[in-house]
Amino acid sequence: MSASFFYPYLLLQIPAGIVVDRLGVRRPLIFSIILCTLATLIFAVSQSALVAEAARLMMGMGSAPAVVCAMCLGSRWFPKPLFPMLAGMVEMLGMIGGAFGEYGISLLINIFTWRGALIFCVGAAILLIIAIIRYVVDWPNEEKRRQYYQEQKRAAPSENFFEACREIVCLSQVWIACLYGGLMFSIIAAFSGLWAVPFLEEAYGMTTPVAAGASAMMLIGSGLGAPVMGWLSCRVGSYRRIMIVMSLLAMLCFGLILWVHIPYPLLCFLMLLLGLSAGAYALCFSVVKHVTCASMHGMALGFTNMMAICLGAPVLQPLIGWLLEENQGQIAHLSVQDYWHAFRPLWICLLIALVLATLIRERPCKQV
């Protein structure tokens, strides 16, 4: 039931981008939040698992345009050099929403039960709908809209859906950036998202709450790292150098966490630093935006978001679990060496990300 949210969310990223390209941001955003609100209400009053799962599917459909809409608004309302930092802020707010939203929901459930908590969320969403209708506008002005498209040197894509998709997937820089983002994000989704806590319990002898606290530092670091990487890339004037350095830093921090038994405060710092360096995945949105023309930005950013998500939790979380089961055999519990072996795919991901970072075409922020 929980996973059913992600299927339409991932599959609809490119169609959502196309809708944003064709209709603008405001109308798809209003429709999506209304759909999410209705889905939450249906889930709150559902009396069967089938209805609840259908509501989760609707939530995934409604959430699909969210990242694309936010980034397209950022690209239209703010100067171009600020886009890397704005893309990072979108990712940061997503992390904060996930972390504090889960905590807030747990408090509401204790007060109102889970159905009452979701009704409260519906009320909050209605206020959000009103705010979007009142304040969200596609462009600052008509002149800005015309100027934005005229500045693009690339030709507009074909009106045909498949030809438009082909134009995006035939750009090597799009694939390099998307794969880099997905590989860097995978360590957040697969390690901190699931396997960090049991590993820290076994390797460091921690209790579950203490290990969870250390793991949470990585999520905090990644939330902070996404906008910081965008700011750094503009200060340095290069995406590629930041992406290379952060890949190396992530490998160093991950190695120290796995193989060196370090004190808890230093461990938390390294987890924070690992999340901060992994936050460089957000730069893939900036690279993709700058190698595609304006009329394809929605579709291209949707494709990027899909690639960034699908390599982590859907693939690596179960793969690591399968490797742990293979290593365990008939042993009663997993050893630290079992985790080292199972984490080899994460090392491969970071190494490939490093190689891909060296292939990023240099596009200094001051020139775009």
Around Cβ 316, how many Cβ atoms within 10 Å? 23
**Which of 223, 220, 272 minimizes the C-alpha distance to 250?**
272
| Residue positions counted in the chain | 368
| Two structure tokens written together for 115 | 């159905």
Query: Tens of pLDDT along 168-203?
Result: 778 899 999 999 999 999 898 889 878 998 999 999
234 vs 58: which has the higher pLDDT = 58
| Two structure tokens written together for 357 | 């970072």
pLDDT of residue 159: 52
Helices 283-291 & 297-310, crossing angle to 10 degrees?
150
Half-sphere exposure of 140 (CA within 13 A, CB side): 10
pLDDT of residue 107: 82
Distance CA 207, CA 6 (A): 31
Helices 66-77 & 13-23, crossing angle to 10 degrees?
40
Flag whether pLDDT at 153 surpasses 50.
no
29-40: average pLDDT:
95
Q: Say what the pTM is.
A: 0.78
297-312: average pLDDT:
82
Q: Which range has highest mean pLDDT (5-9, 43-47, 141-145)?
A: 43-47
**Strand positions, DSSP E, 9-99:** none
Average pLDDT, the chain: 86
Q: Binning pLDDT at 50, 70 and 90, where does residue 148 land?
A: low
Q: Is the dihedral of CA 166, 170, 19, 306 positive or negative?
A: positive
pLDDT of residue 57: 93
